Amino acid sequence: MAARRKREVGAFLLLVPILLLFGVGVFTATTRKITPSLACTTNDFSGLFDGSGLAATFEGESIPVPSALADVASVRVLGEADMGERWVEIDLSEQTLRAWNGGELYLETPVSTGLRWYPTPTGEFRIWVKLKYTKMEGGEGAYYYYLPNVPYVMYFGNDEVPNWRGYGLHGTYWHSDFGTPRSHGCVNLPTPSAEKLYYWVGPVLPDGKSVVYASSDNPGTRVVIHD
């Protein structure tokens, strides 16, 4: 009887490290699953072109920043509908963005949204800040990116997806593979389309400014993202 009990205790002691490892693995996996990811975050909210940022890194390649981006003049785009009627629709299954002026289509363009492991969130959002230029850096390993002077950035968020997560719409100079997911969660637009959208959506950019935050008097345009 004593020998049998000794064997049972020994077997249990052998299982303890396995159970602990399994528990840590489950905890780690669960933690990774629920930890909010970051998309295209920035710490530069000046909206100004950085003359020293002339080289980008994306998917392990060095990419020159187009010098033409620095020469773009601010042009306000006027529409027939007021700001309250404008909204932006992003269809993830089609990889398409449509900007609606009430019930009329203002702009349609292919886009690149988040990769499977960096998904673009679905839901209804509001643009909270517009930056004419900003620097984005993040990812790791083969997916590290350093992107100075990203043009026409429109960050959006809501109560479930807070602003600090860094999701936005913006122009793209580092790839042209639109219609295919390529991003860390942001919505990549062809730069000419991003320029049109930037000046069309709210908040309205004051003349001569490169950045504007949404407010109750100058609200951000609604953005609807769906599968």
Indicate the number of domains in the chain.
Answer: 2
| Residue 9 pLDDT | 44
Per-residue pLDDT for 7 more than 60? no
Provide the CATH number for the domain around residue 125.
2.40.440.10
| Residue 139 pLDDT | 82
Residues 199-218: what's their mean pLDDT?
A: 96
| Residue 10 pLDDT | 52
Q: What is the pTM of this model?
A: 0.81
17 and 59 together in one domain: no
Of the CA atoms within 13 Å of residue 165, those in its CB half-sphere come to 21
Per-residue pLDDT for 20 more than 60? no
Residue 164 lies in a domain: yes
68 and 117 together in one domain: yes
Instruction: Identify the bridge partners of residue 108 per DSSP, sorted by sequence position.
Output: 98
107 and 165 together in one domain: yes
pLDDT, one tens digit per residue, over 68-105 is 888 766 665 544 446 789 999 999 999 999 999 999 99
16 and 83 together in one domain: no
| Residue 170 pLDDT | 98
pLDDT, one tens digit per residue, over 36-80 is 568 888 888 999 999 888 899 988 889 989 888 887 666 655 444
pLDDT, one tens digit per residue, over 119-150 is 999 999 999 999 999 999 988 888 889 999 99
28 and 68 together in one domain: no
222 and 110 together in one domain: yes
| Residue 29 pLDDT | 34
213 and 133 together in one domain: yes
177 and 115 together in one domain: yes
Residue 87 lies in a domain: yes
| Residue 25 pLDDT | 39
The residue range of the domain holding 222 is: 55-226
Distance CA 193, CA 188 (A): 10
63 and 25 together in one domain: no
Task: Pick the closest to residue 186 from 211, 210, 161 (CA basis).
Answer: 161
Task: Pick the closest to residue 46 from 136, 167, 133 (CA basis).
Answer: 133
| Residue 203 pLDDT | 97
Task: Pick the closest to residue 127 from 102, 159, 163, 152 (CA basis).
Answer: 163
31 and 103 together in one domain: no
For residue 191, with 0-12 CB atoms within 10 Å meaning exposed, 13-18 middle and 19 or more buried, which class applies? buried
Task: Pick the closest to residue 221 from 140, 153, 128 (CA basis).
Answer: 128
Residue 40 lies in a domain: no
Q: What angle do CA 89, 91, 95 make, to 5 degrees?
A: 120
| Residue 4 pLDDT | 53
Cβ(147)–Cβ(137) below 8 Å: yes
122 and 206 together in one domain: yes
27 and 81 together in one domain: no
Residue 44 lies in a domain: no
Of the CA atoms within 13 Å of residue 221, those in its CB half-sphere come to 29
